[in-house]
């Protein structure tokens, strides 16, 4: 049995909070007027656009209502557009604007700067092991969430 005094989850929370603040500063230094959360949504859309809110939610691990609120803000700022799916009128697709496409190179540079900082002092082997452990935790948590949703529905 795992001791209740393990600190992994606590460290992950602290790391996320610090990483978010530093990343926001890096974005600001580059003149990018987007938040880290908006950046996660853009990252998904840069890989595949258009996407539904559900797809974005799944790929970012952000709650659907959080994604919806962020998308509203991004639409208001001309970063993304909402469009009806021509194949399914009940479905709304989120697409990139030209402005969002123009941000990708700068955003990638900020992400690379964050990656260098994040892995400072790690060997390649340590980095690979660390990411494998995180992937295992993520998989376990996703399965637990899916089980909860199945039990509720």
Q: What is the pLDDT of residues 91-123, one digit of tens each?
A: 999 999 999 999 999 999 999 999 999 999 999
Separation CA 46–CA 74 (nearest Å):
15
pLDDT value at residue 61: 86
Model's pTM, two decimal places? 0.77
Residue 122, CA distances (Å) to 19, 35, 83, 115 in order:
17, 27, 44, 11
CATH of 11-111, picked from 3.40.720.10, 1.10.10.10, 3.30.390.30, 3.40.718.10, is 1.10.10.10
pLDDT value at residue 4: 67
Tens digit of each residue's pLDDT (9 = 90 or more) over 43-63: 999 999 999 999 999 999 888
Separation CA 48–CA 46 (nearest Å):
6
pLDDT value at residue 2: 58
Residue 146 pLDDT more than 80?
Answer: yes
């Amino acid at each position: 049995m795992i001791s209740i005094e393990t600190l992994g989850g606590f460290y992950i929370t602290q790391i996320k909070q610090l990483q978010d603040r530093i990343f926001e500063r890096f974005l600001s230094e580059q003149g990018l007027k987007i938040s880290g959360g908006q950046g996660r949504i853009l990252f998904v859309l840069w890989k595949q656009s258009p996407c539904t809110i559900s797809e974005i939610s799944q790929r970012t691990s952000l709650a659907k209502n959080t994604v919806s609120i962020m998308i509203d803000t991004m639409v208001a700022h001309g970063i993304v557009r909402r469009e009806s799916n021509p194949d399914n009128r009940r479905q709304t697709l989120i697409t990139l604007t030209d402005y969002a496409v123009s941000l990708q190179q700068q955003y990638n540079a900020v992400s690379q700067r964050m990656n260098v900082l994040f892995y400072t002092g790690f060997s390649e082997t340590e980095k690979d092991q660390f990411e494998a452990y995180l992937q295992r935790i993520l998989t376990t948590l996703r399965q637990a969430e899916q089980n909860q949703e199945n039990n509720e529905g």
